[in-house]
Amino acid sequence: MTAPAPALPSPPVPLTVATVNVNGIRAAVRRGMGAWLAERDPDVLCLQEVRAPDEVLGQVLDEALGAGWHIAHREPTDAGTKGRAGVAVVTRLPVGEQRTSLDPRFDGAGRWVELDVQTDAGTVTVVSVYVHTGEADTPRQDEKYAFLDAMTARMAELRASGRHALVCGDLNVAHRNEDIKNWKGNLKKAGFLPEERAYYDRWFDELGWVDVVRALHPGVEGPYSWWSWRGQAFDRDTGWRIDVHLATPELAALARTAVVDRAPTYAERFSDHAPVVVAFG
């Protein structure tokens, strides 16, 4: 078993972590992602739906912020997945081990990657995860549950290891009514099914993980992180909160702020998801 990470002192060195589903890194860059990245310059960046090879991702980071990034990137290799999925954790901080296997069944799906990030305050295992949308009462939904089962097993292992860990990404599941604007209209649809929402309950109540954004924004609607490209969803803030930072409790206790970098206007969006940024320390 991996030795537990050393305890984080108080206060730790500040650490800023951003997560965003880019819906294709090349498309996001064309729409202006580079300007956001240069302004934010997070210590750790988690990406979902990269949809590009390592060299393209590296080029994007170099052009926005200069060289020196460590990239842990899991590209999809399953048949029919080229140009889809892909997750990454990138950082300029020193790094340790990288792990890309959640479960052999999903090794080619490009949905899970872990990177041990070394800070002056200790080691933090950072995960970037992408859970596909699913569709109620179909084999696609069965696959989604199987992936969430595998996620749950790995999250239990991370908690048992004693290490500090942060799971970031697009889960395509809203937990509670306040996490989705039109919750009444989605009660029987993938993304808000009782069986999906129950996974959050298990992660929080049984395994002890903490939803950092909700902990810092208790009882409020949202803050939403996804809005459909179609219609007036963005302008009316008819959104979903499905992009998360789930932390082990000791790490979650150090979170100071959680912000959704919502674009000022529809035209300025670089993805249908907005980045979610958490500052620790």
Q: What is the pLDDT averaged over residues 52-66?
A: 89
Q: How would residue 66 be classed by pLDDT, with cut points 50, 70 and 90?
A: confident
On whether the CB atoms of residues 242 and 225 are closer than 8 A, the answer is yes
Residue 48 resides in a domain = yes
Q: What percent of the chain has pLDDT over 90?
A: 85
User: Does position 210 have pLDDT exceeding 80, yes or no?
Assistant: yes
CA dist 230 and 105 (Å) reads 34
Residue 5 resides in a domain = no
Residue 185 resides in a domain = yes
Q: What is the pLDDT averaged over residues 27-36?
A: 95
Tokens at 164, concatenated? 């500090």
Instruction: Please give the tally of structural domains in the chain.
Output: 1
Residue 143 resides in a domain = yes
What is the domain extent for residue 202?
A: 15-280
Q: What is the pLDDT of residue 13?
A: 58
Residue 109 resides in a domain = yes
User: Does position 8 have pLDDT exceeding 60, yes or no?
Assistant: no
Q: What is the pLDDT of residue 67?
A: 87
DSSP string, 170-230: E-S---SGGGBTT-GGGTTSTTS-HHHHHHHHIIIIIS--EEHHHHHSTTSS----B--SS
Residue 238 resides in a domain = yes
CATH number, residue 183? 3.60.10.10
Residue 2 resides in a domain = no
User: Does position 258 have pLDDT exceeding 90, yes or no?
Assistant: yes
Tens-digit pLDDT profile for residues 77-116: 998 777 789 999 999 999 999 999 999 999 999 999 999 9
Residue 213 resides in a domain = yes
User: Does position 9 have pLDDT exceeding 60, yes or no?
Assistant: no
Q: What is the pLDDT of residue 225?
A: 98
Q: List residues bridging with 167 in a β-sheet.
A: 127, 246
Q: What percent of the chain has pLDDT over 70?
A: 95
